[in-house]
Amino acid sequence: MDVAENLKDYLGIPRREIPWYPTIDQELCTSCGLCVNACKHGTYEFSDDNKVIVANPYHCEVFCESCKFQCPVEAISFPNRGEFKLIIKDLRVNYPPKD
């Protein structure tokens, strides 16, 4: 997968500055791999000990939560959307829209 494709800016904000990515509750996760298969951006991988990890957090598409709904044990979470919108608003101060 092309890394540059996955790290596109979002609203002119560099992707690496945007804290939108999943977290996995390893106590709940059964390593079924449904999230690995569901994510088309390569966000997840299996670790050496066969646990699912968020290996490429900035590959996650901003505001996408598709993988979360594939998890049968609800081990995947994302930032609160309301709070996250405020973060984006704050970031926009440093990256205003281009005319």
> Residue 22 above 50 pLDDT?
yes
- Cβ 15 vs Cβ 60: under 8 Å: no
The domains located in the chain, with CATH, are 3-94 (3.30.70.20)
- Reduced 3-state DSSP string for the chain: CCHHHHCCCECCECHHHCCCCCEECCCCCCCCCHHHHHCCCCCEEECCCCCEEECCHHHCCCCCCHHHHHCCCCCEECCCHHHHHHHHHHHHHHCCCCC
Give residue-wise pLDDT tens across range 25-54.
999 999 999 999 999 999 999 999 999 999
Give residue-wise pLDDT tens across range 58-99.
999 999 999 999 999 999 999 999 999 999 999 999 998 876
- Residue 7 banded pLDDT, cuts 50, 70, 90: confident
Report the pLDDT value the prediction gives residue 31, as an integer from 0 to 100.
97
Report the pLDDT value the prediction gives residue 2, as an integer from 0 to 100.
47
